[in-house]
């Protein structure tokens, strides 16, 4: 089979690596990929907002199916566009992608289908939002509606901070804003919960714990994710059943009532409060770095699994996992998530990986055989082990060997499962 992967991050390198191990995958294209994918696939420089170019390339090269990594093309309707030309794509259509593309769409869906989530209000102007603040207890959560790369969420401790958030959103900091959300702050522990679906049937696809804040101790600014581990320490049969019954099933029912289906990975960002799951957000794709930490645990042939989804045959495919733990540490460019330098050379020659150790590139590029940084999140080191502690110790020792002077990383990834 020939497979194409859309995207260029650590998630896409991990997807590529799993496909490469498939006995049926003969050729992989990455649009546009990174220095890591270039070693196992053919990277194709293409403007991802130009669906027509991608369609022509896919037809020309007779690619069997495409996997969409990031949310932007999904929310923009890439699946609907390509399916019109009979191209097979693993990812949700534009309607279902609203689960991630519009927080207000998801909140209304939760309301209509009784899905547990934080109490909320929708506001169309500064005045009404500020009036509402007078009745609020702090902290309070204020969110821009559309995609904002994880940045459109404010957790405001005071009325003053909340007013600034409201103004920034309505002033267009995250794109034109006709409305915003004000939400109750949920206390608890977060968990990333995944399913894989072929549009007709779905299966659970593991759990993970992300670390979104830039500094150790979960302090500082929000990032795309500084590291993750799998499984989440919260996972158990009883909680899984609650998540499926109260959140996943009603969501899929709601999409069906909207005459849609969900094909692809669905990622529920949850807050677990006193053993009860609440939906914080949906993502219509794998998480990054959750994907990097989850996929190395997959025993099942990933290429055949996605093929089964494309053929609507997931029901007859079993998904098997390695039973051990997995932990991923992300190495970033100094300055991330604010300003950082690009084009700084990386020397990867000292990195000798063992059997359960993985290096996934994110913001990197290859020029004349040399690897350079090309983004805020640069590399992911993933280690599988029987214990989270040994996985983290090993990942940290690999990062020390790497010794990249422009890099930094959190040394406390997994603190809830390692240090307590």
Contact 34, 13 (CB under 8 A): yes
- The binding track of 220-259 with respect to ligand GLY, each residue x by CB under 6 A or -, is -----x----------------------------------
Nearest distance from C-beta of residue 289 to ligand GLY, angstroms: 6
Q: Which does 290 bind (CB under 5 to 8 A by kind): ligand AMP, ligand GLY, none?
A: ligand GLY
Q: Closest Cα partner for 106 from 238, 289, 272, 266?
A: 266
- Applying CB under 6 A, the span of 71-79, 159-167, 179-187, 330-338 interacting with ligand AMP comes to 179-187
Picking from 121, 154, 156, the residue whose alpha carbon sits closest to that of residue 138 is 156
Q: Which residue has the tokens 């299966």?
A: 203
User: Distance between CA atoms of 172 and 324, rounded to whole angstroms?
Assistant: 45
- Two structure tokens written together for 188: 């608890």
Helix axes 103-112, 94-101, angle to 10 degrees: 100
Tell which positions 253-272 bind ligand AMP, by CB under 6 A: 269
Give CA–CA dist 257/275, Å, rounded: 30
User: Quick one: what does residue 283 bind among ligand GLY, ligand AMP, none, with the CB cut-off 5 to 8 Å set by partner type?
Assistant: ligand GLY
E strands within 248-361?
A: 263-273, 276-283, 325-333, 345-346, 357-361
Query: Please, which of residues 77-136 interact with ligand AMP by CB under 6 A?
Result: 118
Of 9 and 32, which has the nearer Cβ to ligand AMP? 9
Of 183 and 210, CB closest to ligand GLY: 210
Binding of ligand AMP at residue 281 (CB under 6 A)?
A: yes
Find the shortest distance in angstroms from Cβ 149 to ligand GLY. Answer: 9
Nearest to 216 by CA among 416, 420, 9: 416
Backbone angles phi, psi at 227, to 5 degrees: 165, 165
Site for ligand AMP in 203-222 (CB under 6 A): 212
Do the Cβ atoms of 303 and 335 come closer than 8 Å?
A: no
Q: How far is the CB of 274 from ligand AMP (least distance, A)?
A: 14
Nearest CA to 328 out of 224, 403, 406 is that of: 224
Select from 64, 145, 198, 288 the one that contacts ligand GLY (CB under 6 A).
288
Q: Binding mask 203-222 vs ligand GLY (x if CB under 6 A, - otherwise)? A: -------x------------
CB of 167 to ligand GLY, least distance (A): 26
Residue of the chain from 63, 280, 331, 399 that contacts ligand AMP (CB under 6 A): 280
**Pairwise CA distance, residues 180 & 192, whole Å:** 24
Q: Give me the residues that bind ligand GLY (CB under 6 A), please.
A: 210, 225, 283, 287-288, 290
Q: Give me the residues that bind ligand AMP (CB under 6 A), please.
A: 118, 141, 150, 153, 183, 185-186, 190, 212, 269, 280-281
């Amino acid at each position: 089979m020939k497979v194409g992967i859309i995207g260029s991050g650590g998630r896409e390198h991990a997807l590529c690596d799993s496909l490469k191990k498939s006995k049926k995958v003969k050729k992989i294209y990455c649009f546009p990929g990174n220095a890591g994918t270039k070693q196992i696939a053919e990277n194709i420089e293409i403007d991802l907002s130009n669906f027509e170019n991608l369609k022509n390339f896919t037809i020309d090269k007779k690619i069997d199916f495409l996997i969409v990594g990031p949310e932007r093309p999904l929310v923009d309707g890439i699946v609907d566009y390509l399916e019109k030309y009979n191209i097979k794509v693993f990812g949700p259509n534009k309607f279902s992608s609203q689960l991630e593309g519009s927080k207000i769409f998801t909140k209304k869906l939760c309301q209509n289908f009784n899905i547990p989530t934080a109490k909320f209000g929708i506001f169309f102007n500064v005045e009404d939002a500020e009036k509402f603040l007078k009745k609020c207890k702090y902290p309070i959560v204020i969110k821009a509606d559309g995609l904002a790369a994880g940045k459109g969420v404010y957790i405001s401790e005071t009325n003053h901070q909340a007013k600034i958030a409201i103004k920034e959103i309505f002033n267009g900091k995250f794109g034109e804003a006709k409305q915003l959300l004000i939400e109750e702050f949920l206390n608890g522990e977060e968990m990333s919960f995944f399913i894989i679906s072929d549009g007709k049937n779905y299966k659970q696809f593991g759990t993970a714990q992300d670390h979104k804040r830039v500094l150790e101790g979960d302090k500082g600014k929000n990032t795309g994710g500084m590291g993750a581990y799998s499984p989440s320490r919260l996972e158990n049969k009883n909680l899984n059943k609650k998540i499926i019954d109260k959140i996943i099933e009603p969501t899929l029912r709601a999409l069906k009532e909207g005459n849609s289906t969900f094909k692809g990975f669905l990622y529920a960002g949850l807050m677990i409060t006193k053993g009860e799951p609440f939906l914080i957000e949906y993502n219509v794709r794998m998480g990054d770095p959750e994907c990097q930490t989850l996929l190395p645990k997959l025993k099942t042939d990933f290429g055949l699994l996605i093929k089964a989804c494309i053929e609507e045959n997931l029901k007859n495919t079993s998904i098997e996992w390695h039973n051990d733990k997995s932990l991923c540490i992300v190495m970033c460019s100094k300055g991330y998530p604010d300003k950082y330098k690009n084009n700084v050379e990386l020397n990867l020659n000292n990195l000798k990986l063992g059997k359960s150790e993985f290096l996934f590139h994110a913001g990197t590029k290859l020029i004349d055989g040399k690897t350079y940084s090309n983004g805020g999140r640069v590399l992911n080191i993933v280690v599988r082990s029987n214990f989270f502690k040994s996985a983290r110790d090993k990942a940290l020792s690999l990062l020390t060997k790497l010794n990249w002077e422009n890099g930094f990383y959190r040394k406390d990834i997994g603190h809830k499962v390692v240090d307590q």
